[in-house]
């Protein structure tokens, strides 16, 4: 395939790439990306615009139920290989310093972090990429072994914020400044600041610019303490299994259709209740109702595209709410979520 630079990232290229990853055509997708590189398209544009842009589209196709989970997984796996192929064909000078990049414990969105790793590498950093879901203590061990200039911490979903806080606190205690990123840190990175990160960047390219121009940071965040959770948060975390088990027991009483659920439906329901508990816990941790309200809104939309009535979500929320009558902030958050999906 021969592509000129001017038309390199035309809509046709995006369409072709989406078709290739949607077909699980690893070879074709790699060939397309390499032909772009050969035509002079900067690796950064392939990473951010083509791979990143396509991943966003993959997310929409999954959310609207046009693509199943397997197709999303396959497309993501192909893009991981494309990213690796692009990286292996780019030489960079190095010399900026050494940096550790990790996803927060329980955070499985490894590809956005990997994209950032390659962008930083292209800018001359030596990057130790630790991948998805890195337990805090192993991250710290790695810091002691390698002595990096910075830690870049990726968090794509807010449920991981309490773990992000623990990791940020431990990194700073080890004397290594932290740059945080990923949409889990909230609009304009507000939770990154709240949890004591030294810096935040919205995108990989902004992170590259920030680290190139102003590092180590002149501004040092206040230490917000090692734990922000209050009694309600602690209760949510400790009683999570019980909350879900009780809700599952009561489900057929308030939702008779559940009597006929097969095992897959039972598992899916328990998983959904788990998400309710996890998002509620995260919202309590940073004391921001919006995390929970947005989650409820998003879940209602995902269920709607799958033909599941919003009443099913209301039932789930009520089953959890009934068990939290002594917890005013949790009740307020659940009520806010219910109101967001129309009472
Ligand atoms: C692929 C994917 C997955 C895959 C990830 C596989 C992998 N190897 O990465 C799997 C299947 C594991 C997955 C699981 C889930 N996912 Co998912 N996933 C996606 C999807 C479709 C693409 C992710 C991606 O590659 N994005 C591409 C890059 C380009 O995104 P980006 O944000 O622009 O990345 C840049 C910045 O974030 C930034 N950045 C990232 N990290 C860092 C770090 C630092 C330090 C800095 C400075 C910057 C930075 O730099 C990146 C490069 O520019 C997104 C949709 C989307 N729009 O992203 C959903 C998405 C992220 N997932 C979502 C959800 C809800 C989930 C699940 C909870 C689903 C579920 N019900 O189980 C689980 C959670 C799993 C977990 N505990 O982590 C939501 C998150 C919404 C939210 N914030 O609450 C999204 C947004 C989908 C959606 N619209 O609803 N997912």
Dump pLDDT digits (tens) for 183-233: 999 999 999 999 999 999 999 999 999 999 877 776 555 666 667 778 999
Average pLDDT over residues 325-342: 96
Grouping H, G, I as helix, E, B as strand and the rest as coil, residue 98 is strand
**Identical fold, 11-88 and 97-213:** no
Mean pLDDT for the chain overall: 93
Q: Which residues contact 203 (CB under 8 A, 6 or more apart)?
A: 48, 181
- Determine which residue's CA is closest to atom 47 belonging to ligand 1: 181
Cα separation, 57 vs 72, in Å, equals: 10
**In the chain, % of residues over pLDDT 90:** 85
**DSSP type of residue 50:** I
What CATH number does the domain located at 11-88 have? 1.10.1240.10
Average pLDDT over residues 10-28: 96
Quote the ligand 1 centre to 252 CA distance (angstroms). 34
d(CA 303, CA 229): 30
Nearest CA to ligand 1 atom 84: 157
| 3-class SS of residue 79 | helix
The answer on pLDDT for 16 being more than 70 is: yes
Tokens for 149?
């200039």
| pLDDT for res 118 | 97
Q: What is the pLDDT of residue 198?
A: 93
Mean pLDDT of 87-108: 93
Strand ranges across the sheet with 150-154:
125-134, 97-104, 150-154, 178-181, 199-201
Residue 6 — pLDDT band, cuts 50, 70, 90?
A: very low
Give residue 60 CA to ligand 1 midpoint distance, Å: 12
Q: Write out the CATH class of domain 97-213.
A: alpha beta
Give the binding-site residues of ligand 1, using a 6 Å CB cut-off.
48, 52, 55-56, 58-59, 62-63, 72-73, 76, 106-113, 115-116, 152-154, 156-158, 179-184, 201, 203-204, 207, 298
pLDDT at 3 over 60: no
Is the confidence at residue 335, as pLDDT, over 60? yes
For residues 241-249, average pLDDT: 97
Give domain limits for the chain.
Answer: 11-88, 97-213, 231-340
Mean pLDDT of 7-15: 84
Residue 259 has pLDDT above 70, yes or no: yes
Instruction: pLDDT band for 285, please (50, 70, 90 cuts).
Output: very high
Across the range 42-46, mean pLDDT stands at 96
Tell me the β-bridge partners of 201.
181
Cα 109 to ligand 1 centroid, rounded to whole Å: 5
Ligand 1: residue whose CA is nearest its atom 85: 59
């Amino acid at each position: 395939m021969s592509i000129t630079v001017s038309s390199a990232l035309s809509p046709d290229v995006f369409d072709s790439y989406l078709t290739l990853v949607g077909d699980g055509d690893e070879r074709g997708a790699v060939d397309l990306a390499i032909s772009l590189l050969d035509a002079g398209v900067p690796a950064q544009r392939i990473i951010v615009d083509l791979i990143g842009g396509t991943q966003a589209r993959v997310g929409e196709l999954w959310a609207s139920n046009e693509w199943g989970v397997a197709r999303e997984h396959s497309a993501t796996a192909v893009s991981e290989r494309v990213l690796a192929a692009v990286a292996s064909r780019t030489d960079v000078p190095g010399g900026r310093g050494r940096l550790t990049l990790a996803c927060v414990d329980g955070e499985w969105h490894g590809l956005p972090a990997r994209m950032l790793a390659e962008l930083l590498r292209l800018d001359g950093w030596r990057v130790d990429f630790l991948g998805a879901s890195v337990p805090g203590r192993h991250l710290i061990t790695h810091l002691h072994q390698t002595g990096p200039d910075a830690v870049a911490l990726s968090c794509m979903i807010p449920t991981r914020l309490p773990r992000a806080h623990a990791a940020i606190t431990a990194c700073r205690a080890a004397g290594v400044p932290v740059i945080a990123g990923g949409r889990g840190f909230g609009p304009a990175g507000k939770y990154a600041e709240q949890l004591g990160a030294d810096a935040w960047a919205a995108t990989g390219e902004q992170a590259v610019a920030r680290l190139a121009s102003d590092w180590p940071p002149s501004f040092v965040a206040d230490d917000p303490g090692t734990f922000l959770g209050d009694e309600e948060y602690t209760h949510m975390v400790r009683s999570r299994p019980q909350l879900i088990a009780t809700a599952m027991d009561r489900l057929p009483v308030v939702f008779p259709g559940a009597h006929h659920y097969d095992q897959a439906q039972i598992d899916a329901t328990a998983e959904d209740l788990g998400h309710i508990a996890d998002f509620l816990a995260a919202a309590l941790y940073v004391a921001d109702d919006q995390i929970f309200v947005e989650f409820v809104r998003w879940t209602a939309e995902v269920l709607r595209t799958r033909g599941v009535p919003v009443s099913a979500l209301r039932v789930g929320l009520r089953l959890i709410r009934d068990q939290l009558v002594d917890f005013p902030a949790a009740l307020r958050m659940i009520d806010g979520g219910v109101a967001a999906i129309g009472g």
